[in-house]
Amino acid sequence: MTTHARTKQHFQQPSEHNHSECVSEALGTAEHLCIERGVQLTPIRHKVLELIWESHKAVKAYELLDSLKPQQQAAKPATIYRALDFLIEQGLIHRVESLNAFIGCRCSGHQHEQLLLICKHCHEVEERPASGVMSALSQEFRQAGFTVHSKAIEIHGICAKCRDLPDDQQ
Ligand SMILES: [Zn+2]
Ligand SMILES: [Zn+2]
Ligand SMILES: [Zn+2]
């Protein structure tokens, strides 16, 4: 089997969108929302949000701590968790329960229901509104007389980009 260098390079960069646009949009929205709401996007909260937005992969709290340590010697797990709680409250990130990790959200700036498609290969998480699924579920809940506090569906599998990888890279 031959390996084409060009092809390999291509697959090492699966994200074919301009991610710096995602980052600047997400951070801009966060700054704007916090001013509007009169809440403080402190340097540590800002930094944590920026780190989460480094990619579309779900990030664990200890990974955030590791990234912060070189600049902020005083950063402790509690510091990170407080920043994460704030960002969740403001609807700027989501907790991916099944991974115990976090992803950025820029769809609304408030807490909302989500369908999360989690790729087990590249660990990227795609968020989709899936309004049809959500309203079908709401009907189930009504029939069950069940009061829902939060609605998030997490699905694990292989994303479209990884599905198209050659077998030996999957
Ligand atoms: Zn992006
Ligand atoms: Zn979201
Ligand atoms: Zn993937």
Distance 42 CA to ligand 2 centre (A): 22
* Amino acid identity for residue 129 in this structure: P
The domain locations on the chain are 18-169
Distance 103 CA to ligand 2 centre (A): 9
Whole-number pLDDT of residue 15: 55
pTM: 0.83
Distance 3 CA to ligand 2 centre (A): 39
Kindly report the length of the chain: 170
Q: Which residues are in the CB-under-5-Å shell of ion ligand 1?
A: 19, 22
Distance 59 CA to ligand 3 centre (A): 15
Ligand nearest to the CA of 20: 1
Whole-number pLDDT of residue 93: 95
Nearest in space to 101 (alpha carbons), one of 86, 88, 112, 89? 88
Does residue 35 sit in helix, strand or coil? helix
CATH topology of domain 18-169: Arc Repressor Mutant, subunit A (1.10.10)
Ligand nearest to the CA of 129: 2
56 touches 103 (CB < 8 A)? yes
Distance 8 CA to ligand 2 centre (A): 32
Whole-number pLDDT of residue 165: 82
Distance 105 CA to ligand 1 centre (A): 11
Residue-wise pLDDT tens for the chain (170 aa)? Answer: 443 433 333 333 345 789 999 999 999 999 999 999 999 999 999 999 999 999 999 999 999 999 988 887 777 889 999 999 999 999 999 999 999 999 999 876 777 888 999 999 999 999 998 889 989 999 999 999 999 888 889 999 999 999 988 776 66
Report d(CA 94, CA 112) in Å as an integer: 9
Ligand nearest to the CA of 26: 1
Nearest in space to 152 (alpha carbons), one of 116, 109, 100? 116
